[in-house]
Amino acid sequence: MLKIFHLLSLLTQCNDVHTLHKIHAHIVTDGCFTIPAISNKLINSYANFNALPSSQILFHQLGNPSTIHWNSIIKAFSLGPNALQAIKYYNGMVSSHLSRPNSITFSSVLKACGTINATNKCMEIHGSTIRSGFSSDMLVSTNLIRSYAAFGGLVSMRKVFDELTKKDLVTWNSLISCYSKMGFHHDALILFDEMKSAGVGFDGFSLVSLLSACADVGALDIGVELHGLGRKNGFMDNVYLGNALIDMYAKCGSLDKALHVFNGMKKRDNFSWNSIIMGMGCMDLVTKPSHYSRQCCLLE
């Protein structure tokens, strides 16, 4: 047992592929690859270093992959350029009849469906989640919402949300973000009112999505209200929230407030600089954009 914990610890602490190869060799020499926790961690470790061919080789060396192994290989491919592989592995898992998909399986393969716009497969998996009793699982439902949103399935996306008997903050945030990204900005703002009425809290992610909606429809008053909520709840150190505020104020023509947010930010990234420069450019403030552009270049 101590040996297993030691090997798992080594894999967790490993920070480069070269070291991983050594640990892998040690695992094989000690005959520990057949231990599910070890083989699964090894598959995940190679995937974390984007060494997906190695993860595949290890997976196919397993005589009888368990659900955790299937989940690891499906998840490894779900968000990358080879997301179709995740769907193929899911099909293989279902066809094997030896391991049953769980919420992690469905969530990962749904991410893959969204990545490659596999509309029909998404609907098929949706049916499987219902038959398997996972339709009320918030993790699965959240990924269903995102997958439907990826290919414009507005009605299906909202239906999944409305049929959930219990919704957490991540679920609400996902629908708000999807509405905003799809261009249904008013729906995103209306949903925030529903969210407040339901007594659900909010976080920086909620405000970022809502501010994006405000920026695109010119809802300055609501944006100011959201800014106040961000201050009141201690979210202003969040660089993404700061960027969203700068973008919103600039697009709504309130450059003085955009500058105030920008100058008060403890940390800025490229988007912060680009937003303030673009905002001043749109307002025809010729000298100030060049001043901030020079500052930005000096920091790079």
Q: What is the mean pLDDT of residues 256-272?
A: 91
What amino acid occupies position 69?
Answer: H
Q: How many CB atoms lie within 10 A of CB 166?
A: 9
Q: What is the mean pLDDT of residues 140-166?
A: 94
- In the prediction, which pLDDT does 275 show? 82
pLDDT, one tens digit per residue, over 47-66 is 999 999 999 999 999 988 99
Distance in angstroms (rounded) separating the CA atoms of residues 236 and 266: 9
Whether the pLDDT of residue 298 is over 70: the answer is no
Residue predicted with more confidence, 264 or 296: 264
Whether the pLDDT of residue 142 is over 50: the answer is yes
Whether the pLDDT of residue 293 is over 80: the answer is no
Q: What angle do CA 260, 210, 118 make, to 5 degrees?
A: 135
pLDDT, one tens digit per residue, over 164-181 is 989 999 999 999 999 999
Q: What is the mean pLDDT of residues 9-21?
A: 93
Terminal Cα-to-Cα distance of the chain (whole angstroms): 50
Whether the pLDDT of residue 155 is over 60: the answer is yes
Residue whose C-alpha is closest to residue 247's, from 265, 222, 271:
271
Distance in angstroms (rounded) separating the CA atoms of residues 80 and 186: 32
Distance in angstroms (rounded) separating the CA atoms of residues 134 and 136: 5
Whether the pLDDT of residue 27 is over 50: the answer is yes
Q: What is the mean pLDDT of residues 237-256?
A: 93
pLDDT, one tens digit per residue, over 193-245 is 999 999 998 999 999 999 999 999 999 999 999 999 999 999 999 999 999 99
- In the prediction, which pLDDT does 182 show? 94
**What is the secondary structure of 161-228 as a DSSP string?**
HHH-SS--HHHHHHHHHHHHHHT-HHHHHHHHHHHHHTT----HHHHHHHHHHHHHHT-HHHHHHHHH
**What is the secondary structure of 82-101 as a DSSP string?**
THHHHHHHHHHHHHH-SS--
**Residue spans per domain, the chain:** 1-63, 64-165
Predicted structure pTM score:
0.85
Whether the pLDDT of residue 274 is over 70: the answer is yes
Q: What angle do CA 66, 68, 74 make, to 5 degrees?
A: 105
Return the axis-axis angle of helices 239-251 and 220-232, rounded to nearest 10°. Answer: 160
Q: How many CB atoms lie within 10 A of CB 169?
A: 14
| Cβ(71)–Cβ(104) below 8 Å | yes
| Cβ(202)–Cβ(195) below 8 Å | yes
| Cβ(250)–Cβ(278) below 8 Å | yes
